[in-house]
Amino acid sequence: MKVLIAGGGTAGHVFPALALARRLAADGHDVGFAGTAAGQESRLVPAAGFALEEIEASPFVREVSLRAAMAPLVAIRSIRRCRPLVQERDVVVGMGGYVSVPVALAAIRARRPLVLHEQNAVPGLANRTLARPARTVALSFAEAARMLPRRTTKVVTGNPVREEVLVVHAERDRLAKEAASEFDLDPERATVVVVGGSQGALRLNRAVVDAVERIRSQAQLVLITGPAHAATIDAALRSSRLTVRVLPFVERMDLAYAIADLLVARAGASTVAEVSVCGVPSLLIPYPHATGRHQEANARALVRAGGATALSDDDLTGETLAGRIDEMLGDVAALRVMGDRARTWSRPHAADELARVVVAVADES
């Protein structure tokens, strides 16, 4: 079976797509990708050993500008160029976001079966628009189903997680020792990992800078700032009382999850899926400007399950962040329960489930 997976932009979109691709490839299927030269897929997909066909795609721009006016023309041109790609495939999978739109539309026009995957608890505009002609929409969050057309076939699969992250729960002790060496940390001290997503989160980084001198516990921190902010934040924390490792990006997030006694993070879909499957307790601070406020919905789902607690971005200050960190680290039993509930809520077999959906749709066509 020949599969074309479309999607990308951020690492949070690419990693689930790669997890699905590896599962399909392991079963003997021919998997290719379509994505942009500017997105994270241009680096991550070839590095994972998959072929990437570069396409044109533009994000939806809600403004009056030349860029907004040109977007439909770019989309039409891209759909035409994508048509030969989809015609030679048995099934097309759209992983959400603007990158998947021209490929999905080309699949519809070429009458190739289309499967969509929705990462978030609030479906994005692309998937809401394409859901009706799609054969199946696979969901990470059950809550998303009510916001899609009633007659659309929907199935909750979860959000596929990288294999190296999946093993953290079972191999945490070994990986935590490796992480202590990799990040130059004390293996006996409580560790807080802070991450704002693959591009970082400046507001969260600044709150950490203010929080560090207010934290009463003897914790150590790993602060993953994003490439744009690392130098500035590192300089601001150089004389910190606590041990703080400032890193622009971490390729081995399995190590970060393994050593984390507490994760402080935005509530992107991939972060929520990964932290829960690892069984790491978390303090989620949803990005308030995410489309449809979907990060708030993502966080609510895990908080309802008892696997996390949340802090509003409006309430995010150094003082409130320090207080929440101290409170959570001060109750080891509660942290353990939170991690267990996160793991129970997670869907570690999401890649398998989504792969089965893709194969079933192709077989029916």
Q: For residues 256 and 193, is the Cβ–Cβ distance under 8 A?
A: yes
Report the b/e string of 274-286 with b at 16+ CB within 10 A. Answer: bbbbbbbbbbbbb
pLDDT of residue 29: 98
Structure confidence at residue 65 (pLDDT): 47
Written as six digits, the tokens of 365 are 């066509």
Residue 8: per-residue pLDDT:
87
* CA-to-CA dists, residue 71 to 35, 49, 246, 297, angstroms: 16, 31, 38, 29
pLDDT in tens, 237-283: 998 999 999 999 999 999 999 999 999 999 999 999 999 999 999 99
- Let me know how many helices (H) and strands (E) the chain has, helices first: 15, 13
Of the CATH numbers 3.60.20.10, 3.30.470.20, 3.40.50.2000, 1.10.1740.10, which one belongs to the domain with range 163-345? Answer: 3.40.50.2000
Give pLDDT, residue 314: 96
C-alpha to C-alpha distance for 175 and 361, rounded to whole angstroms:
38
Regions of the chain short of the pLDDT cut 50: 64-66, 68-69
Q: What's the start-to-end Cα distance of the chain, in Å?
A: 12
**Angle CA(119)–CA(313)–CA(62) in degrees, nearest 5?**
60
Each residue of 148-167: pLDDT tens digit?
A: 999 999 999 999 999 999 99
Q: What is the pLDDT of residue 9?
A: 85
pTM of the shown model: 0.93
Residue 201, pLDDT score: 85
* Residues making up the chain, counted from first to last: 365
Those residues with Cβ within 8 angstroms of residue 320's Cβ, 6 or more apart along the chain or in another chain = 311
What pLDDT is stored for residue 229 in this prediction? Answer: 87
Q: CATH 3.40.50.2000 in the chain: give the residue spans.
A: 2-161+348-364, 163-345
Q: Where does residue 151 rank: exposed (0-12), middle (13-18), buried (19+ CB within 10 A)?
A: exposed
pLDDT for 135 equals: 97
For position 64, what pLDDT does the model report?
45
Q: What are phi and psi of 127, to 5 degrees?
A: -70, -35
- Among 3.40.50.2000, 3.40.50.1400, 3.40.50.620, 3.40.605.10, name the CATH number for the domain at 2-161+348-364: 3.40.50.2000
**Ramachandran bin of 296, using left for φ above 0, alpha for ψ from -120 to 50, beta for the remaining angles:** alpha
Q: How many CB atoms lie within 10 A of CB 69?
A: 10
pLDDT at position 77? 81
What pLDDT, on a 0 to 100 scale, did the predictor assign at position 73? 60
Report the C-alpha gap between 288 and 193 in whole angstroms: 21
The torsion angles phi and psi of 243, rounded to 5 degrees, stand at: -75, 120
DSSP symbol at 142: G
> What integer pLDDT is reported at residue 200 of this predicted model?
60
d(CA 283, CA 341): 14
Q: What is the pLDDT of residue 125?
A: 86
Q: What is the pLDDT of residue 279?
A: 98
